[in-house]
């Protein structure tokens, strides 16, 4: 099969190559999926799991990509809940070969059925950003109707999902980002926008929740925006500034079939818009990942035309 692999951690996206690889086998409780479309988060080339296994052994050359939509072609020993020929989408294991390939072996529990009226490219754009938004807002952030939330990077892949889901849940959303992101963040439903390059973030005060996708200095300054008893949820590592009266949580997204189904249902009925910037075929994927031009929204790789 065709697959994109990486072997040199220092090379970044320039080290990606399209090669021929053996098709994967389904292990216990796995399925093999013929991948129709794949998502890719550029920062995954910096994640240790791209380079080593759970025992910290080198696993290169490894196949990146952790989001997929496709069709089940084989079941592993003891696999239940999915069937051959079924359309699925979901989140692949961080430590296994991923989804920038024609086939992937993946635990069935990481997948949900993809309804027939949802395009594979749309399905592949949802797992990481959709599940991260859902879990950050409702499990870790405990967001309630009537509360207020600062959503950093509100025009980005995760932030645009956070903004939409928070608004649907009845929250007041203050989106942030660069000046050029203002209109896109407002279009995704932010009630207000703070331009992090020129506006004073500190003018926002007393919110119930901050959802941080940026970290660094923005993360440090964000803790002071949360009211006593509120929460700061980070998806970019541990929060350095931890005021005593604010609960801070950092987490890594997990696969969840019921949540995937909730998310795709919202896309079908128009409550949730995807944030796809570019769809490219597998043969052009390496060039797309190395492009210098800024793309608004996710790049999705269409593996099967």
Residues at the contact surface with ligand NAP, assessed by CB under 6 A? 41, 43, 128, 132, 153, 155-159, 177-178, 181, 196, 213-214, 218, 235-236, 252-253
CB closer to ligand NAP, 10 vs 43: 43
Closest distance of CB 253 from ligand NAP, Å: 4
CB closer to ligand NAP, 102 vs 181: 181
Owner of token pair 């999705």: 300
List CB contacts of 152: < 8 A, sequence separation 6 or more: 159, 176, 177, 196, 210, 211, 212, 213, 214, 218, 222
Closest distance of CB 177 from ligand NAP, Å: 4
CB closer to ligand NAP, 116 vs 258: 258
270 phi-psi bin (left φ>0, alpha ψ -120 to 50, beta other): left
Closest distance of CB 304 from ligand NAP, Å: 24
**How far is the C-alpha of 245 from the C-alpha of 228, rounded, in Å?**
5
User: Are the C-beta atoms of 18 and 63 separated by less than 8 Å?
Assistant: no
Q: Which two tokens stand for residue 215?
A: 């970290």
Compute how many other C-beta atoms are within 10 angstroms of the C-beta atom of residue 23: 15
Cβ-proximal residue to ligand NAP, closest one? 156
Closest distance of CB 300 from ligand NAP, Å: 13
Closest distance of CB 21 from ligand NAP, Å: 25
CB closer to ligand NAP, 19 vs 236: 236
CB closer to ligand NAP, 35 vs 235: 235
Q: Which helix (H) or strand (E) holds 207?
A: strand 207-212
């Amino acid at each position: 099969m065709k697959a994109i692999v990486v072997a040199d951690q220092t090379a970044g996206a320039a080290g990606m190559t399209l090669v021929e690889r053996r098709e994967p086998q389904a292990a216990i409780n796995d399925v093999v999926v013929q991948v129709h479309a794949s998502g890719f988060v550029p920062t995954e080339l910096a994640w240790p799991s791209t380079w080593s296994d759970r025992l910290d052994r080198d696993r290169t050359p490894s196949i990146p990509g952790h989001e997929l939509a496709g069709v089940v072609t084989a079941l592993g020993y003891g696999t239940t809940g999915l069937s051959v020929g079924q359309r699925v989408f979901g989140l692949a294991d961080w430590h296994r070969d991923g989804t920038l390939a024609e086939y992937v072996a993946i635990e069935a529990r990481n997948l949900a059925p993809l309804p027939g009226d949802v395009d594979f490219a749309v399905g592949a754009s949802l797992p990481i950003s959709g599940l991260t938004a859902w879990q950050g807002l409702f499990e870790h952030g405990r967001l309630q109707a009537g509360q207020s939330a600062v959503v950093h990077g509100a025009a980005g892949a995760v932030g645009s999902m956070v903004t939409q889901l928070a608004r649907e849940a009845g929250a007041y959303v203050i989106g942030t980002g660069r000046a050029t992101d203002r209109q896109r963040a407002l279009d995704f439903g932010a009630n207000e926008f703070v331009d992090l390059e020129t506006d004073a973030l500190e003018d926002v005060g007393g919110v119930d929740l901050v959802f941080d996708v940026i970290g660094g200095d923005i993360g440090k300054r964000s803790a002071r925006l949360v009211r006593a008893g509120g929460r700061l949820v980070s998806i970019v590592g541990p929060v350095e500034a931890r005021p005593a009266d604010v609960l801070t949580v950092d987490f890594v997204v997990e696969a969840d079939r019921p949540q995937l189904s909730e998310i795709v249902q919202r896309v079908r009925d128009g409550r949730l818009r995807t944030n796809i910037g570019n769809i490219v075929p597998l043969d052009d994927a390496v060039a797309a990942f190395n492009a210098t031009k800024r793309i608004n929204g996710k790049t999705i790789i269409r593996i099967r035309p």
